């Protein structure tokens, strides 16, 4: 048997690891068996709902291992130190040890939480990311970022902890609620804006097929979008430079999510509004034309992503940006698109300019 | 100005970093200034009592930086996720960001806690270890291990996060309470037993000078003992092999500390009793002679370290060893001395043998 049958793209950073695109949940066990000799115990960490849908398929391939399934409730608020403590207690009850392998089965929240757990449990145990949402497949499962939230801000505590592999089964997207699809589309479109103009055009041209979830088009969408992420994190795993561009829309989006206490706004919606705010800032700086702003707005709108939000206080949102991880020496670091297909890091945005951008997205 | 004026030994692992031996607290700022260009904000994390003794001396050299001092109460129970959360809140209030540098000023608990904080705050910020106890100077500040405890066991959550440098000022040892000295002596003697027979003899021969805290002898003791640790972690930073030997006495010791809820037994006392338990196991396996056991007992006794403990239940202690991080597939991994100056890793100790070893140290 060989590994060659599973299509993949390699992340080539500190350590090289594969992102398998389009393999099946049932085959993961076969891969583990081929690749890792000394695995005996596996902890599958997942959401209750995701586990109900997919854990049986996954376990079919894991018959040779001692497997424990730990589930957490859904939701961004689950990414907490309290939940980490509970996972730790549960893992110890299952006799997890340094040789245990963690499978993070789920979306972005599970990937972040289970990834953080794996990175700190007994100072780090093995981790495989098995993303089941579009967002996780095209974005969060790739690149090794893990985190939990803190009342003062999102992803304040975390690690860079690349998985041994990312194992992506497209079939998990078939039943994904459209709201979850939107979360992934926001990140995919973000990838297109910052680094791949032709992917942007793909989203413009394939509206119908994407909305109908045509398998081959979705496969292409996930693969092309993942490729952007793989390329960027391969260049800059630790976010010293170019990786920062992936934060387009996120400083605004995180502020909005935190201000609304993760209720009434999804991550994708936050990012979508954040992209538009950043686009207005870019326009003010002469980096975009007004017709480019319209094109971005139109594309997000096409896929049901919001470009404005009601009833928010721009001053409060600005204040929330104060504890953004990217800030340096009290200065806000923002990502601004430069036309479509490129982006830059800007340290030159004043609070007044940021406030003006917020006002453009508050109705 | 050059760095050459400060004597050091380099840890040569994934990343090389210096352990400065015998430099002064006041000079740390000068070193930071020479070595790191973009530091603006420094968080000094310390114990209340240590901070009262030394933070002013440290701050004298840090006049060019924005410095915040965060203190935590003393004690092993402070190594908790709750304390990590509080440190995070406090750090954000001081506008700490990704460029902030953490100075861990204190003993082993502070090094572990502040090191863990630095390793996960915004996915990792810069860290300098400034150990002020004998234990921290000869052992815990070197090698990059950070951790917090979990109700089920010690150091269950943590990271490998080597500091940028270790800055050791011998003068902080002058006022160290003897109980704290004992903690360090237990680790130093452990270093001698596993890797340096001549250091063992140094401890046998220099009893008087060590007890009188003669400066030159203490400098030699810290330097020689640190050198053992530096050598071992340089060979095996991630504890895949030889570094495991540093755990001599610790599986037993941690079990005892956890069982007693960190009250009525210091870390050094736990390690001392643990060394003796391991020595008896080694004797049972034919790795030590009875006169070598006596020699180890005598040396620990010379420095006031206990070799027995009263009123403990050996079965309960055995049970506590179940969640030891070193266990693999339910098997206990123990370090056994092989004569004096060498040690081995053993996976072959049965629960019955371990129980018998516990009984040898319970009076």
Q: What is the mean pLDDT of residues A236-249?
A: 94
Q: What are phi and psi of A324, to 5 degrees?
A: -65, 135
CA-based nearest distance B295→chain A, Å:
34
Catalytic residues of A: 123, 145, 187, 229, 239, 243, 247, 250, 254, 267
- Supply A53's token pair: 């849908």
The reply to whether B132 sits in an annotated binding site is yes
Cα A147 off chain centre by: 11
Reported confidence tier of residue A82, pLDDT bands at 50, 70, 90: very high
ipTM of the complex, rounded to two decimals: 0.91
Q: Touching check for A243 and chain B: CB below 8 Å? A: no
- Does the structural domain B178-361 have CATH classification 1.20.1090.10? yes
Q: What are phi and psi of B348, to 5 degrees?
A: -105, 10
Instruction: Calculate what percentage of chain A has a pLDDT beyond 90.
Output: 89
Return the sign of the alpha-carbon dihedral for residues A47, A104, A192, A9: negative
List pLDDT tens digits, range A169-197. Answer: 999 999 999 999 999 999 999 999 999 99
CB contact under 8 A, B85 and A123: no
Which residue, among B89, B97, B127, would best test binding to A if mutated, counting the most A CBs under 10 Å from its CB? B97
Of A162, A118, A116, A108, residue with least CA distance to A138: A108
| A67 beta partners | A42
Residues A144, A237 contacting (CB under 8 angstroms)? yes
SS3 of chain A: helix, strand, coil, percent, to 5: 50, 20, 30
Of B356, B236, B225, B202, residue with least CA distance to B285: B356
Domain A190-361, CATH class in plain words: mainly alpha
Indicate the pairing of strand A41-47 with strand A126-131.
unpaired
Of A128, A152, A140, A154, residue with least CA distance to A76: A154
CA-based nearest distance A47→chain B, Å:
22
**DSSP states of A110-170:** HHHHHHHHHHHBTT--EEEEEE-SHHIIIIITSS-EEEEEETTEEEEEEEE---SEEEE-G
Please name the CATH architecture into which domain A3-173 falls: 3-Layer(aba) Sandwich (3.40)
Mean pLDDT of chain A: 95
Chain B residues within 8 A of A326 when measuring between CB atoms:
98
Residue in chain A closest to B124 (alpha carbons) equals A159
Nearest to A160 among B98, B124, B322 (CB): B124
CB contact under 8 A, B97 and A151: no
List pLDDT tens digits, range A139-166. Answer: 999 999 999 999 888 899 999 999 999 9
pLDDT value of residue A323: 73
Catalytic: which of B8, B250, B280, B326? B250
Question: Does pLDDT of A343 surpass 70?
Answer: yes
CB contact under 8 A, A328 and B145: no
Q: Which residues of A17-26 are buried (b: 16+ CB within 10 A; e: fewer)?
A: bbbbbebbbe
Of B323, A307, A326, residue with least CA distance to A334: A326
Q: Touching check for A326 and chain B: CB below 8 Å? A: yes
Chain A residues within 8 A of B86 when measuring between CB atoms:
none
List pLDDT tens digits, range A14-45. Answer: 899 999 999 999 999 999 999 998 999 999 99
Distance CA B232, CA B93 (A): 39
B239 is catalytic: yes
Q: Touching check for A36 and chain B: CB below 8 Å? A: no
Within 10 A of B334 (CB to CB), how many other CB atoms are there? 30
Q: Touching check for B81 and chain A: CB below 8 Å? A: yes
The reply to whether A145 sits in an annotated binding site is yes
Angstrom CA distances, A63 to A50, A67, A132, stand at: 20, 8, 21
Catalytic: which of B123, B208, B263, B310? B123
pLDDT value of residue B321: 92
pLDDT value of residue B1: 57
Q: Touching check for B326 and chain A: CB below 8 Å? A: yes
Question: Does pLDDT of A60 surpass 90?
Answer: yes
Comparing A75 with B95, which gets the higher pLDDT? Answer: B95
Catalytic: which of B8, B254, B280, B326? B254
**DSSP states of B129-194:** EEE-SHHIIIIITSS-EEEEEETTEEEEEEEE---SEEEE-GGGGTT--HHHHHHHHHHHHHHHHH
B149 is catalytic: no
Distance CA A45, CA A106 (A): 8
CA-based nearest distance B90→chain A, Å:
11
Chain B residues within 8 A of A97 when measuring between CB atoms:
325, 327-330
Per-residue pLDDT 10s for chain B (363 aa) are: 578 899 999 999 989 999 999 999 999 999 999 999 899 999 999 999 999 999 999 999 999 999 999 999 977 788 999 999 999 999 999 999 999 999 999 999 999 999 999 999 999 999 999 999 999 999 999 999 999 999 888 899 999 999 999 999 999 999 999 999 999 999 999 999 999 999 999 999 999 999 999 999 999 999 999 999 999 999 999 998 999 999 999 999 999 998 998 889 999 999 999 999 999 999 999 999 999 999 999 999 999 999 999 999 999 999 999 877 777 777 899 999 999 999 999 999 999 999 999 999 999
The reply to whether B228 sits in an annotated binding site is no
Nearest to A150 among B88, B123, B159 (CB): B88
- Supply B151's token pair: 């109700």
Nearest to A123 among B123, B160, B329 (CB): B160
Question: Does pLDDT of A87 surpass 70?
Answer: yes
List chain B domain ranges.
Answer: 3-173, 178-361
pLDDT value of residue A126: 98
Cα B290 off chain centre by: 29
Question: Does pLDDT of A1 surpass 70?
Answer: no
Of B211, B207, B246, B247, residue with least CA distance to B229: B246
- Supply B210's token pair: 């060590």
pLDDT value of residue A275: 98
Chain A residues within 8 A of B323 when measuring between CB atoms:
92
CB contact under 8 A, B157 and A120: yes
Chain A residues within 8 A of B158 when measuring between CB atoms:
120, 122-123
From chain A residues 328-347, the ones with a CB under 8 A of any chain B CB are 328-330
């Amino acid at each position: 048997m060989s590994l060659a049958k599973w299509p993949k793209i390699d992340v080539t950073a500190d350590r090289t690891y594969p992102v398998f695109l389009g393999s099946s949940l049932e085959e993961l066990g076969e891969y583990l068996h081929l690749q890792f000799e000394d695995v005996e115990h596996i902890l599958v960490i997942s959401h209750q709902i995701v586990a109900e849908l997919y854990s049986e398929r996954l376990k079919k391939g894991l018959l040779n291992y001692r497997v424990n399934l730990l589930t957490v409730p859904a939701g961004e608020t689950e990414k907490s130190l309290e939940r980490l403590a509970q996972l730790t207690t549960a893992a110890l009850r299952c006799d997890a040890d340094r040789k245990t392998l963690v499978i993070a089965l789920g979306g972005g929240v599970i990937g972040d939480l289970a990834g953080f757990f794996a990175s700190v449990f007994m100072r780090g145990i093995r981790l495989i990311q098995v993303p089941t949402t579009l967002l996780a497949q095209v974005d969060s499962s790739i690149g090794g970022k893990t985190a939990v939230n803190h009342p003062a801000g999102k992803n304040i505590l975390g690690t860079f902890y690349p998985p041994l592999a990312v194992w992506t089964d497209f079939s998990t997207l078939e039943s994904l609620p459209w709201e979850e699809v939107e979360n992934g589309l926001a990140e995919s479109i973000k990838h297109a804006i910052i680094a791949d103009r032709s992917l942007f055009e793909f989203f413009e041209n394939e509206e119908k097929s994407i909305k109908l979830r045509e398998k081959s088009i979705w496969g292409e969408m996930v693969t092309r979008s993942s490729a952007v992420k793989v390329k960027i994190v391969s260049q800059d795993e630790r976010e010293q430079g170019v990786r920062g561009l992936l934060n387009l829309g996120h400083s605004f989006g995180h502020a909005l999510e935190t201000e609304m206490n993760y209720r009434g706004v999804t991550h994708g919606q936050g990012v979508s509004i954040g992209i538009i705010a950043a686009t207005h800032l870019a326009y003010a700086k002469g980096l975009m034309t007004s017709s480019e702003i319209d094109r971005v707005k139109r594309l997000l709108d096409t896929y049901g992503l919001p470009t404005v939000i009601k009833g928010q206080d721009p001053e409060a949102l600005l204040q929330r940006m104060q504890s953004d991880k990217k800030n340096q020496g009290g200065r806000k670091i923002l990502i601004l698109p430069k036309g479509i297909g490129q982006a830059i890091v800007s340290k030159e945005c004043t609070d007044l300019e940021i406030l003006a951008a917020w006002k453009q997205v508050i109705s």
